[in-house]
């Protein structure tokens, strides 16, 4: 299995569709990083790594690659608004892009090389995450940090130009170094876990380049990472396809349980050009799991709005951006039109509806019935995703900066300049 993993790290003929998604992840990751600069944990990390070096830190200033990766992983995960992957059970970009970009700046790579390094690292992280499996996650490990560190190591290693033998060493060192627990959730330790993955990747790759030795198979070998960190490991997925393309973006700054409904109603509004005032009633069926989580009937604060199907449905149909954290004000909870609209929606739990799904119907004032259904796990057309991420970016960092970022950058140095606040 180690050989299959090493083969993957050397993959050069990457599919265009996967590359396009990896570029989209780069854009979204940069947006999350820039939007997260003002968070308290970001200020701590920026001060912690303050110095100078080859790599840029979100918000400006530079640090050595390892330190920049630690800070940027943490800062970009501070809002918890970055991409996820259900196979891997974790966040991909925040653990891997900071390593790829920091090393990319150190070695003077162009953006295309950074994106390819990320893509291969992410694909490996997904498959290692799947090998570690649900048992690893349920035991208490945080795949973003553990499997993510291997992805970061591979991304950094590709940019350092490691030989196959050196990559094997780098992965062996990562096996003795990768860590991260879910018990940090709800604290600053959670975003730090992403930084830990990224910084471990940079350091393990650099030490391998410098000539270290390590276990020949630190991952699957005796007392290796899998044996020590998973009670019921799964087989390596040997499909040649890029599983990365199932990556999920977080498009709305509210409870994940509401996202399928938001997507479904957004499509109804777009396809039928339907304003809120023409909606007579909405019936929503959702997973029973979410009823105790995000079905607050009368939210009192902006934070509670994030957990209210009724308010969020009104926001979508009234054209209020659910993607921007700034929409969720306390005043919105008192808004007369939304309060009125909320009376028209009925939410029912249905065990046949998956946690990532929403089903239902909208009845218009003319008596027309429009059925809707959305499954977050289904792949979205690229252009729809692009538009949605661009809108998210506009809300988070402003139209002008989002536009500059969207226009792209030729080199890692250019990307570094865009990370400055």
Interface ranges with a second copy (CB under 8 A): 40-41, 44, 47-48, 51, 64, 139-142, 145, 172-173, 175-184, 187-189, 192-193, 196, 206-207, 210-215, 218, 221-225, 227-228
State in angstroms the smallest separation of the CB of 62 from a second copy. Answer: 14
In 239-386, beta strands by DSSP E = 279-286, 345-349, 357-364, 369-375
Nearer CB in complex with a second copy: 145/294:
145
Sign of the Cα pseudo-torsion (19, 20, 26, 28, in order): negative
Sign of the Cα pseudo-torsion (278, 283, 288, 291, in order): positive
Nearer CB in complex with a second copy: 206/262:
206
Strands 345-349 and 279-286 come out as parallel
Nearer CB in complex with a second copy: 75/294:
75
State in angstroms the smallest separation of the CB of 50 from a second copy. Answer: 11
- Distances from the Cα of 86 to the Cαs of 52, 78, 154, 263, 323, in angstroms? 37, 20, 21, 18, 21
State in angstroms the smallest separation of the CB of 261 from a second copy. Answer: 30
- Distances from the Cα of 6 to the Cαs of 163, 172, 236, in angstroms? 10, 12, 13
Burial class (CB in 10 A: 0-12, 13-18, 19+), 375: middle
What are the residue ranges of helices labelled H in 181-291? 189-209, 225-229, 259-272
State in angstroms the smallest separation of the CB of 151 from a second copy. Answer: 16
As a whole number of angstroms, the distance between CA 119 and CA 123 comes to 6
State in angstroms the smallest separation of the CB of 224 from a second copy. Answer: 5
Please identify which residue in the block is written with the tokens 């599983």: 243
Length of the chain: 421
Helix (H/G/I), strand (E/B), else coil: 37:
coil
State in angstroms the smallest separation of the CB of 188 from a second copy. Answer: 5
State in angstroms the smallest separation of the CB of 273 from a second copy. Answer: 47
Are 258 and 312 in contact by the 8 Å Cβ rule? The answer is yes
Nearer CB in complex with a second copy: 40/381:
40
């Amino acid at each position: 299995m180690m050989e299959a993993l090493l083969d993957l790290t050397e993959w050069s003929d990457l599919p265009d569709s996967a590359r396009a998604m990896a570029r989209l992840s780069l854009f979204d990751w940069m947006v999350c990083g820039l939007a997260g600069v003002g968070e308290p944990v970001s200020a701590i990390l920026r001060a912690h790594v303050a110095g100078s070096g080859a790599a840029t830190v979100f918000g400006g200033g530079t640090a050595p690659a390892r330190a920049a990766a630690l800070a940027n992983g943490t800062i970009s995960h501070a809002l918890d608004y970055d991409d996820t992957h259900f196979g891997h059970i974790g966040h991909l970009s925040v653990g891997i892009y900071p390593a790829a970009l920091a090393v990319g700046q150190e070695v003077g790579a162009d953006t295309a090389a950074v994106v390819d390094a990320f893509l291969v690292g992410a694909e490996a992280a997904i498959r290692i995450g799947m090998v570690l499996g649900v048992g690893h996650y349920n035991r208490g490990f945080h795949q973003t940090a553990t499997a993510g560190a291997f992805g970061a190591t591979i991304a950094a290693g590709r940019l350092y130009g490691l030989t196959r033998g050196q990559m094997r060493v780098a992965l062996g060192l990562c096996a003795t170094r990768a860590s991260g627990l879910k018990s940090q959730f709800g604290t600053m330790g959670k975003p730090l876990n992403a930084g830990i993955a990224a910084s471990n990747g940079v350091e393990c790759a650099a030490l391998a380049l410098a000539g270290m030795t390590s276990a020949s198979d630190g991952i699957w070998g005796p007392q290796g990472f899998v044996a020590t960190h998973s009670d019921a490991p799964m087989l390596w997925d040997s499909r040649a396809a890029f599983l990365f393309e199932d990556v999920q973006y977080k498009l709305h700054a509210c409870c994940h349980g509401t996202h399928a409904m938001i997507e479904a109603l957004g499509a109804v509004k777009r396809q039928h050009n339907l304003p809120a005032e023409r909606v007579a009633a909405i019936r929503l069926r959702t997973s029973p799991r979410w009823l105790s989580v995000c079905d607050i009937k009368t939210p009192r604060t902006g934070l509670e709005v994030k957990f209210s199907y009724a308010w969020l449905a009104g926001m979508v149909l009234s054209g209020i951006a659910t993607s921007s954290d700034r929409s969720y004000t306390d005043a919105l909870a008192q808004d007369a039109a939304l309060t009125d609209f909320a009376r028209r929606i009925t939410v029912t739990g249905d065990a046949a509806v998956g946690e990532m799904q929403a089903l239902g119907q909208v009845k218009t004032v003319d008596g027309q019935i429009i059925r809707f259904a959305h499954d977050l796990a289904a792949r979205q057309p690229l252009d729809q995703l692009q538009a949605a991420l661009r809108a998210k970016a506009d809300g988070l960092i402003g139209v002008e900066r989002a536009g500059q970022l969207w226009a792209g950058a030729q080199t890692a140095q250019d990307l570094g300049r865009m990370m400055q606040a």
